[in-house]
Amino acid sequence: SHDSFSFYIDEASPVGPEQPETVQNFVSVFGTVAKKLMRKWLATQTMNFTSQLGAGIRYFDLRISTKPRDPDNELYFAHGLFSAKVKEGLEEINAFLADHPKEVVFLDFNHFYGMQKYHHEKLVQMLKDTYGNKMCPAIFAHEVSLQYLWEKEHQVLVFYHSPVALEVPFLWPGQMMPAPWANTTDPEKLIQFLQASITERRKKGSFFISQVVLTPKASTVVKGVASGLRETITER
């Protein structure tokens, strides 16, 4: 699932540090109303973690952020606004894995906002504490079969798009999970892009994501500002 933990986006949270100055200014002027409108465009899921897993989702697209002036120095899932605490999300996934020992999930940590070295160290430790030996060490992608994972009792593959991955055996480097992005609102262009990327996929010797998602442009948001992502793009 795309922006996997955006179901939990908190309208009371501050705006994420990755947002441009125009968005920051918009929220500072219009406050809560602006955040309610933002949530309609930023929440790409209608299900929580457990429901997504129950529906068959096994790949999670994760963006992690620190929160400005947060005294607890917590890590949060984020997509424009802040979502659930990372620790809570990881534990929820682990509860599902404990109940389903032959299921395997892919956790793709592909964006980090406002994170220093010690934040990465905190996240790595959190992964260790939560999943322990459930995590599969980085090997060649073609060696990873369900049979291999079952034999080793591994249930989690963690992809980490940061140089930190090179220092930790259970982190798979980000280039092992490429995710080319069509960045279009046009379904026909999206299909052409996906078909072309299949050819590239065969050359890589890695895992690969086909992003079957339409992405709103600024003009799309302006036209449908009160409607939101689902009504403006998904249902169409």
User: Which residues are marked as active site?
Assistant: 2, 79
**Alpha-carbon distance values, 27 to 78, 84, 197 (Å):** 16, 20, 38
CB 203 within 8 A of CB 15: no
- By CB neighbour count within 10 A (0-12 exposed, 13-18 middle, 19+ buried), where does 208 fall? middle
- Beta sheet of 75-79, edge-to-edge order: 81-85, 75-79, 59-66, 105-113, 156-160, 171-173
Look at residues 179, 129, 134 and name the one whose alpha carbon lies nearest to residue 158: 134
CB 213 within 8 A of CB 230: no
**Alpha-carbon distance values, 161 to 4, 90, 153, 207 (Å):** 16, 18, 25, 14
CB 131 within 8 A of CB 93: no
Residue in the block written with tokens 């996240």: 123
Look at residues 171, 135, 177 and name the one whose alpha carbon lies nearest to residue 152: 135
The first and second tokens of residue 63, run together, are 């963006």
